[in-house]
Amino acid sequence: MTASFFGGVHGFFHSTTWSVIETVAVIFVVVLWIATVFWVNKDARRRIASQPLVWLGTLLGALPPFLGPLVYMLFRPPEYLEDVHERRLEIQAIERRLAARQCPVCNAEAEPEFLVCPVCATKLRQACVKCKRPLEPSWKVCPYCETQVGAEPPVELRPKRPARPRAPRTTEPRATETQSPS
């Protein structure tokens, strides 16, 4: 009875059924291994800029099988390259915005509406000749009233020349030269 049972088990492991199961299992493991190597390569390309390091990471993902990807995950860069790039752009934009709100001479805080720096009196912006709103140095035309930058101010807004103080008229005769001496 026992002998026939072990004989059966022995027979099973030498049967074609077992060899088929074995082959399928080996193929499954190999496919899984290739898939992990592909995954490591794809992940490394998204996180590592240097090409040799990407291939080094892929090699680590391949060998030792299945353990390599775990080791790779411990040492991979924490961020995707595009996230790093995006964050760098955001920081640059913030820096530009801050620089635009600073006096270039004394670094005092200057609102975008300021024409001169309130601390060191540096000229920061021109005012539009017509609507008097602050203009950025790169602007060719005032965006608020369409006046050309550098155009002559409209007549009614030109500063009037200060009137010369006239000498008060005297009602008295100016000279007595013509008067004949009595």
Cα–Cα nearest to 45, from 55, 34, 32, 33: 55
Site string (138-157) toward Zn ion, x via CB under 5 A: ----x-xx-x----------
Applying CB under 5 A, among 45, 46, 125, 130 the residue interacting with Zn ion is 130
User: Could you tell me the smallest distance in angstroms from the CB atom of residue 82 to Zn ion?
Assistant: 39
Write the DSSP assignment of 103-171 as a string of letters: -TTT--B--TT-SB-TTT--B--EEPTTT--EE-TT-SB-TTT-PBTTPPPPGGGSPPPPPPPPPPPPS
User: Could you tell me the smallest distance in angstroms from the CB atom of residue 143 to Zn ion?
Assistant: 8
Per CB under 5 A, does 117 bind Zn ion?
yes
User: Could you tell me the smallest distance in angstroms from the CB atom of residue 98 to Zn ion?
Assistant: 15
Q: How far apart are CA 132 and CA 129, in angstroms?
A: 6
Per CB under 5 A, does 124 bind Zn ion?
no
Helix (H) or strand (E) holding 181: none
3-state class (DSSP) for residue 91 = helix
Within 8 A by CB and 6+ apart from 78, the residues are none
Per CB under 5 A, does 80 bind Zn ion?
no
Site string (91-110) toward Zn ion, x via CB under 5 A: ------------x-xx-x--
**Binding-site size, Zn ion (CB under 5 A):** 15
Judged by CB under 5 A, which stretch of 13-21, 67-75, 121-129, 174-182 contacts Zn ion? 121-129
Cα–Cα nearest to 133, from 153, 150, 111, 114: 114
User: Could you tell me the smallest distance in angstroms from the CB atom of residue 174 to Zn ion?
Assistant: 52
Which residues sit at the interface with Zn ion, rule CB under 5 A? 103, 105-106, 108, 117, 119-120, 122, 128, 130-131, 142, 144-145, 147
